[in-house]
Amino acid sequence: MLQPSAILGQLKDRLAAGLDALPLDRTQGLVSLVLALPRVPATAPQLPGPQFQFLHIHRESLHAGYGSAAEWQADGPDRLRRLATAGRRLRGHWHRADPAGTGFDAFAMLGFAATGDPAPRVDDHLPNALLWVPEVGLRTSEGQAALVLSAALPAARGELRARWEQALERLLPVLYEPIRGPLPAASLTRTFTEPDRGGWSDLVHEALAEIAQGELEKVVPSRRLDVTGTRRFDVGRLLGALSCLFPSCQIIDLRRNGASFVAATPERLLHQRGSELEVDAIAGTAGRAEDTERDAALARALASSDKNLREHRVVIEAVREALRPCCNEIAVPEAPALMQLSNAQHLWSPIRARVAPELDVLDLAGLLHPTPATNGHPRRAARDWLRHAEPFVRGWYTGAAGIVEPDLSGELWVLLRCARVCGNHAELYAGAGIVAGSDPAEEWDETEAKLGAMLTALQYA
C-alpha cells in the first residue's frame, strides 16, 4: 500500500504533466485539473483555513473543498440571481482536464442563509449567500476518489505549479490518517435558550391565532439553544459521530474564519441532473421508541394523524405550485412514506419532475426556497410573520447548501439539525410546523427531539 509521501510524489509528477493540458493564457474563467487517487480516504481531514465537506454515508459519496480558487458573495432578495449570473459566466469558461479519465469533474459549493436580509450578520463566519470554487476539491464515489485542483485565469505555469504543490503538501500527510473515534461522553451545559418554554407557548398560540383568522395555513417557528462543553469541540469527531448516529442523513460542515456550521439533515431541497428533478417533501414528525412494538405504534399513529397529514399536504401542494410554471410530468407518491432516523421519524414524499431545459440549480433553488417545511404557507405571509415574531435571526439555519457542477446542475440540502460551533461553544437550532390543532407542549417536545440529534453528537466531540 502506497504511503502518503509516495502518493504525494506521484501527484506532483502528474500535476506537472497535466498543466500542459490547461489553457493558462486565457484572460478569464477557471481551470481545473483532476488527479486520480490510488485509494479512497476514509473521510476529509480538518485543515486550517476555509473548507467545506458534504458526506453521505448511505450513498458512499463525499465532496470536500479547501481554500478558494474563486468565490462570489451576495445578499438581498436577488442574491441567487446575482450568483447565477456569475455561475453562467463561468459555464463556457471553466476549462477542465482529466488526464487519467477518472470521470470525476470539478465542482463548486453553493450555500445561503434562511433569508436574504443582509443584517445583522455573524461577522466572523459565513456571508449571506456564497458560490465557492475550492482550490483543492476531493470527490469520492463508488470506491473511487480524485483530487480536483482549480485556479482563476490567467495563471503563470510556474506560479500555479508551486501553489498547487504547496496545497497538496498540506493535504496529503493527513488525508489517509485513521478516523479518530469518539471521545468519552462529556457533559454539556445549557447556557441560553430563546424562546424559553413560556415564550415558546406564547409564540405557538400567536401562530394558531393567525391560522384561525385565515392569515396562515402553516408556519414554522424555531428555537435557539446555546450550550458549552467541558472541552473544545473537535469538529472532525463531531462529523464522525453524526455519521454514525445518522447514516441516512447528509452531513455538512462549512468552515470559515474559525467557526464551523455543521448540519445532519435528512431533507434535500432538490437534486437536478439535466432535465430530471427530485425534491423531498418532508413534514409531519413523531418520536422513536426503543421498544419495537411502541416504535411501530408511533409510526402507525404518524401515518394516520390528521394533523400531520394536513401539514404534509401543505408542503406537497407548495412544491407543485412552485414547479408547475417550469416543469411537467410532476409525480407525487399516492401516500407518504416513513423516513425513520434514530431520534425521529417523518412523513416523506419524494417528488419527481421534468425541468425546462433553460433552468439550472440556482433558478430552482429560488423557486423552492424557503420550503413550507421550514417557513410555512403561504410563503410570503409566513416569512413576514416569522421576521416579526421569532426572537432571533436564523442565519444559515433553514438555508440550504450543496454541490454545483460546472453545467450548473447539482444537489442542495436544507440546513436542519444544525449547530454553529466555535471552541467549546455551540448554538443549536430546531423548529416545528404549526397548523390548526397543534399543541404547544407537543411541539416543544418535537423541537427537543430534534435538538437531541446534535446534542448527542456534541457529547462525543
Catalytic one of 135, 210, 267, 443? 267
What are the pLDDT digits (tens) for 373-394? 899 999 999 999 999 999 999 9
What are the pLDDT digits (tens) for 102-154? 999 999 999 999 999 865 454 557 999 999 999 999 999 989 999 999 999 99
User: Is residue 163 domain-shared with residue 310, that is, in the same domain?
Assistant: no
Number of compact structural domains in the chain = 2
pLDDT, average across residues 429-443: 94
User: Is residue 9 domain-shared with residue 52, that is, in the same domain?
Assistant: yes
User: Is residue 117 domain-shared with residue 228, that is, in the same domain?
Assistant: no
Do the domain assignments include residue 299?
A: yes
Do the domain assignments include residue 181?
A: no
Helix (H) or strand (E) segment spanning residue 80 = helix 79-91
Do the domain assignments include residue 220?
A: yes
Q: Of 142, 175, 208, which residue sits at a domain end?
A: 175
User: Is residue 253 domain-shared with residue 141, that is, in the same domain?
Assistant: no
Rounded to whole angstroms, how far apart are CA atoms 112 and 402?
A: 10
pTM, rounded to two decimals: 0.94
- Degrees, nearest 5: CA angle 202-207-213: 130
What are the pLDDT digits (tens) for 291-324? 899 999 998 999 999 989 988 998 899 999 999 9
Catalytic: 12?
Answer: no
User: Is residue 156 domain-shared with residue 227, that is, in the same domain?
Assistant: no
Catalytic: 218?
Answer: yes
Q: Which domain holds residue 378?
A: 188-459
For the chain, what percent of residues have pLDDT higher than 90?
Answer: 81
What are the pLDDT digits (tens) for 148-199? 999 999 999 999 999 999 999 999 999 999 888 889 999 999 999 999 999 9
Do the domain assignments include residue 344?
A: yes
Catalytic one of 218, 390, 443, 450? 218
User: Is residue 15 domain-shared with residue 157, that is, in the same domain?
Assistant: yes
Read off the CATH number of the domain in which 316 is found: 3.60.120.10
User: Is residue 336 domain-shared with residue 192, that is, in the same domain?
Assistant: yes
DSSP annotation of 20 reads: G
Look at residue 330 and tell me whether its pLDDT is greater than 70.
yes
pLDDT for 58: 65
Rounded to whole angstroms, how far apart are CA atoms 252 and 261?
A: 8
User: Is residue 306 domain-shared with residue 453, that is, in the same domain?
Assistant: yes
Helix (H, G, I), strand (E, B) or coil at 235: helix
